[in-house]
Amino acid sequence: MPAPYDNYDYPAYWKGREYEHDSEFLAIKKLLLRIPKVDRSIEIGAGFGRLLSAYQFRVKKIVLSDPSAKLIACARNKYKNNSRVEFIQSTLDNLKNRKRAKSFDLCIMVRVLHHIEDIDKAFENVSNLLKDKGYFILEFPNKSHLKASFKKICKGDFTYPLNIFPLDIRSKKNIKKKTLPFINYNPGQIIEKLETAGFDLIETRSVSNIRSSFMKRLFPISFLLDLEKYLQIPFSKLNFGPSFFILAKKR
């Protein structure tokens, strides 16, 4: 049965999104500075291997997994000469049948959680893969970011910034057709569920804080990234940006 991304040109999606891509690289590299040692890592929903070069310098053995046969084939072709990388076509739920429990020091999951409705089960699966005191780098779309909150307040929804419940941004038609979920989450809810799943919070980062077509036209990417570097930690306290990164440690 084909995965949803088998029928989508995901590499093409990133054309023109260099600022967002580099902002995520920046966040991952900074979070890695908080991790003392990594022998084995697994990236869940790795796609075509877009993020590999952001962390491979810190890891001895890497597993890239994705449910899409098409994207894993792209990743395998891209990194076919890298003997440290293993490729697995698998859903998150099925990884427990493909990899031994507690076999990884680090799990990375970026741009995946928005397609998952049962996040408690997802965090349980991640915990199963990680060694005790292993690290988890997680990204998800922030439903409470400044622009979204401002729009809701202007429409009279004054409680929106405090609403912790997830928001599925699919159209009613697509929800009825049971297309792939696209859910934005409140950071407070995710942090609470991580703690319940046995993780301790280490650091949070607000990412892509200057994601604006106008700003991209006005300033070079290098200037926006220089700003981004200083904004990610303080702006995470404000739930400012559209993308939210968390570094957590399994107890």
**pLDDT tens-digit map of 90-144:** 999 999 999 999 999 999 999 999 999 999 999 999 999 999 999 999 999 999 9
Structure tokens at 186: 């409140």
* pLDDT at residue number 90: 97
CA nearest to 28, candidates 65, 59, 66: 59
- Measured distance CA(137)–CA(64) in Å, rounded: 14
- Structural domain spans, the chain: 4-141+168-250
C-beta of residue 242 within 8 angstroms of C-beta of residue 141: yes
- Measured distance CA(175)–CA(154) in Å, rounded: 26
* pLDDT at residue number 39: 96
The pTM of this model reads 0.96
State which fold the 4-141+168-250 domain adopts.
Rossmann fold (3.40.50)
State how beta strands 104-109 and 85-89 pair: unpaired
C-beta of residue 126 within 8 angstroms of C-beta of residue 240: no
* pLDDT at residue number 4: 87
For the chain, residues with pLDDT lower than 50 are none
- Measured distance CA(241)–CA(145) in Å, rounded: 5
119-129 and 187-196 helices cross at what angle (nearest 10)? 50
* pLDDT at residue number 1: 65
